[in-house]
Amino acid sequence: MSNKNEKKSAQTRQCLITAFCLIYQEKSFEKISVQSVTKKAGFDRTTFYQYFLDLDDLLNQLEEELLTYITSKRPTITEENNEYYFMNALVDLYQARAVEVNALLGPHGQSHFTATLKNKLNFELFHLDKGKKSHYQPYLIEFRLFGALDLFSLWLERGQDLTVAELVKMVIKLYQTNPGLKELADQ
């Protein structure tokens, strides 16, 4: 395939993803059809099936791309800076792919995306999986992951009423100055 054809193919695929995301912001996944996506994108069903097996495949590919983006943008993370880099990765992702993030962290997509994220993310990121298993560990991981994602979603919902620096600083303070988190993680 020539470079020109590859670029056109990538643009067509992205157009289908964008159309899906715009609909997903308004409707639950179950109420979306291939026909509605292709109509919004300006293509026919045959074009859709050149890129995706079905809507589940489209959603899975999209989530995988965004998860890869989040984890690949992250530099070496230490216990002291992990929330900073996680939140910055989310902000960077939003700036690069706002339509997709709005859909996946919006009212119809958040629970599915966060469940996918939880299943695929390396929890060493949160420095709670230190080899010693505590019965608190699953709760602490859930608190940190969903807390960060919920704060990010709220920030988007409120029209980004804090600067990125304020958002990141707030999340860091919530996690790093919370003695209860450290105490429970060490038990």
Give me the CATH number covering residue 46: 1.10.10.60
Q: In the prediction, which pLDDT does 73 show? A: 57
Q: How far apart are CA 111 and CA 117, in angstroms?
A: 10
Question: Does 180 lie in the same domain as 166?
Answer: yes
One domain for residues 95 and 121: yes
User: C-alpha 35: how far from its chain's center?
Assistant: 25
Q: Are 48 and 92 part of one and the same domain?
A: no
**Comparison of pLDDT for 182 and 61, the residue scoring more:** 61
Query: What tokens appear for 77 in the block?
Result: 């993370």
Same domain? For 23 and 77 the reply is no
Place of tokens 């960060």: 148
**Do residue 140 and residue 105 come from a single domain?**
yes
Do 13 and 73 lie in a common domain? Answer: no
Angstrom distance (rounded) from CA 142 to CA 145: 5
Most confident of 7-11, 80-84, 148-152, 176-180: 7-11
Percent of residues, the chain, with pLDDT higher than 70: 76
Pick the last residue of a domain from 52, 69, 88.
52
pLDDT greater at residue 98 or residue 2 = 98
Task: Take residue 58 and report the two structure tokens written for it.
Answer: 């489209």
Give me the percent of the chain exceeding a pLDDT of 90.
29
What is the spatial distance between Cα 87 and Cα 163, in angstroms, rounded to a whole number? 12
pLDDT (average), residues 84-101: 78
59/140 same-domain check: yes
Q: Higher confidence at residue 44 or residue 112?
A: 44
Strongest mean pLDDT among 75-79, 96-100, 113-117, 146-150: 96-100
Residues 12 and 73 in one domain: no
- The pLDDT, as a whole number, for residue 160 is 85
Does the pLDDT at position 164 exceed 90? Answer: no
Decide if 77 contacts 125 (C-beta within 8 A): yes
Q: Which domain holds residue 181?
A: 55-185
Total domains present in the chain: 2
Q: Count CB-CB contacts under 10 A for residue 49.
A: 13
Provide the pLDDT for residue 49. Answer: 97
- Residue 63 and residue 3 in one domain: no
66 shares a domain with 48: no
